């Protein structure tokens, strides 16, 4: 197992390198950039990302004061820069690191990222790593609670559906599950707001924020209740799709195991259905469910919360990444991409190792990576 883990860790190096290289090249040809935004702000025509003539983005985003994304030449022409001193434009390029060749910017970026030095945000007076840490509580709350609740509801429901396969209970719950899967999470979030957050009906839950404004003044038990009060609607909205997927996966996994020969043998030995189900079927059927938990959490943590964060005014990593892309804040964009890619690869490894923990018969040493 040690050799397998080492191989997987070594393979992460070229994988992350490839992800960063492809992203860097794409950004080179993307219109707009931070300098265009500065020019637009100076001229009173600020937009999220202005167009650029003959250039793209990219740059050294690893150290303080450095940046990613601009042209390959100091002599590049910026749309809207007419009337500004050319020396001022060159100073902006030097400030953001755009006066260096693309390969040098990319190399400096990788060197800084290896040391986990992500530099400063272009348009926020804060380091990138501090900015990410500031947004973590929201994303951790959404990802963790959504995954736990969906598993706590979906696994018992999936087992019940498998045991009662073909019954009226199975039919009706399947209809509910399919409807839940078909409804987009953001649309359900809007419905929850209309019904329960001061829309057209009830005003039971808050509309924005992770906690109340006076949270720090509350006693510890009131802080917990206030936090859960704010999390209720966002978690329900996010759990809808995951709830349906995990339920069907659990049902199908149990049905597949129930129909195997060893289950029939256990029944012939006189074991009760409960003993057969939880003594023999459960461990094998839950293999794929339990092993997929790290991946499900990381997916919800990084990718599933953008619209929910926007609707409920929760300032997390999803919203941060989107705003950084729109505003051409490349240090934040590339830092989050690097961190998310690295964590995604690590979680995939953890998922594989979880298989061996759940079922020791699985041996990755005998397989090629």
Residue-wise pLDDT tens digits, 182-225: 888 788 888 888 888 876 778 888 887 788 888 888 888 888 89
- The Cα–Cα gap between 260 and 273 comes to 14
- And the tokens for 217? 């003044």
174-193 pLDDT tens trace:
888 888 888 887 888 888 88
Residue 56 reports pLDDT greater than 50: no
Q: Where are the domains of the chain?
A: 2-123, 129-326
* The predicted structure's pLDDT at residue 17: 92
* The predicted structure's pLDDT at residue 172: 92
CA-nearest of 32, 6, 22 to 327 is 32
Average pLDDT in the chain: 76
Is there a contact between 104 and 275 (Cβ–Cβ < 8 Å)? no
Mean predicted confidence (pLDDT) in 308-332 = 82
- And the tokens for 82? 């007419």
Is there a contact between 189 and 311 (Cβ–Cβ < 8 Å)? yes
Mean predicted confidence (pLDDT) in 312-324 = 82
Counting residues of the chain whose pLDDT is more than 70, the rounded percentage is 74
* The predicted structure's pLDDT at residue 361: 64
Q: Which CATH class is domain 129-326?
A: mainly alpha
User: What is the SS3 assignment for 343?
Assistant: helix
Is there a contact between 177 and 186 (Cβ–Cβ < 8 Å)? no
Q: How crowded is the C-beta side of 364, counted as CA atoms within 13 Å?
A: 19
Question: Would you call 368 exposed, middle or buried from its count of C-beta atoms within 10 A (0-12, 13-18, 19+)?
Answer: exposed
- The Cα–Cα gap between 249 and 243 comes to 10
Is there a contact between 332 and 266 (Cβ–Cβ < 8 Å)? no
CA-nearest of 258, 202, 255 to 233 is 202
Q: Where are the alpha helices (DSSP H) in the chain?
A: 2-28, 34-42, 86-96, 102-114, 128-163, 168-182, 185-196, 220-258, 261-268, 273-276, 282-285, 287-291, 293-302, 306-311, 317-326, 330-358
Contacts (Cβ under 8 Å, ≥6 apart) of 303 = 318
89-131 pLDDT tens trace:
676 666 666 777 878 888 888 998 988 888 888 778 788 898 8
Residue 163 reports pLDDT greater than 70: yes
Predicted TM-score (pTM) of this structure: 0.69
* The predicted structure's pLDDT at residue 18: 92
- The Cα–Cα gap between 181 and 175 comes to 10
What b/e string do you get for 334-349 counting C-beta neighbours within 10 Å, with b at 16 or more? bbbbbbbbbebbebeb
Counting residues of the chain whose pLDDT is more than 90, the rounded percentage is 4
79-93 pLDDT tens trace:
555 556 676 667 666
265-306 pLDDT tens trace:
888 888 887 888 887 788 777 777 776 776 666 666 665 567
DSSP state of 172: H
């Amino acid at each position: 197992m040690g050799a397998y883990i080492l191989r997987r860790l070594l393979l992460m190096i070229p994988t992350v390198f490839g992800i960063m290289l492809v992203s860097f090249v794409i950004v080179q040809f993307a219109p707009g950039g931070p300098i265009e935004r500065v020019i637009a702000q100076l001229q009173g025509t600020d937009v999220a990302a202005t167009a650029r003539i003959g250039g793209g983005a990219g740059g050294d985003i690893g150290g303080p004061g450095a940046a990613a994304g601009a042209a390959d030449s100091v002599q590049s022409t910026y749309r809207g820069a007419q009337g500004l001193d050319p020396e001022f434009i060159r100073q902006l390029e030097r400030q953001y690191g755009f006066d260096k060749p693309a390969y040098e910017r990319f190399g400096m970026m990788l060197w800084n990222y290896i040391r986990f030095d992500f530099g400063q945000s272009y348009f926020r007076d804060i380091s990138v790593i501090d900015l990410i840490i500031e947004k973590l509580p929201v994303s951790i709350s959404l990802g963790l609670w959504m995954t736990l609740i969906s598993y706590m509801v979906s696994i018992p429901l999936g087992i019940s559906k498998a045991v009662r396969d073909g019954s009226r209970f199975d039919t009706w719950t399947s209809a509910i599950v399919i409807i839940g899967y078909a409804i987009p999470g953001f649309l359900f979030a809007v419905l929850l707001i209309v019904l329960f957050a001061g829309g057209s009906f009830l005003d039971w839950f808050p509309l924005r924020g992770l906690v109340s404004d006076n949270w720090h003044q509350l006693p510890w038990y009131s802080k917990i209740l206030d936090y859960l009060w704010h999390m209720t609607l966002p978690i329900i909205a996010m759990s809808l799709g995951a709830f349906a997927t995990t339920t069907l996966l659990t049902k199908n996994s149990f049905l597949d195991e129930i129909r195997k020969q060893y289950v029939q043998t256990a029944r012939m030995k006189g074991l009760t259905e409960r003993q057969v189900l939880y003594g023999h079927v459960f461990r094998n059927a839950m293999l794929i469910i339990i092993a997929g938990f790290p991946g499900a959490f990381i997916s919800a943590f990084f990718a599933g919360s953008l619209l929910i964060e926007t609707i409920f005014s929760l300032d997390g990593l999803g919203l941060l990444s989107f705003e950084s892309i729109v505003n051409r804040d490349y240090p934040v964009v590339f830092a989050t991409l690097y961190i998310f890619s690295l964590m995604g690869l690590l979680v995939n490894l953890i998922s594989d190792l979880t298989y061996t923990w759940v079922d020791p018969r699985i041996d990755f040493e005998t397989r090629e990576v």
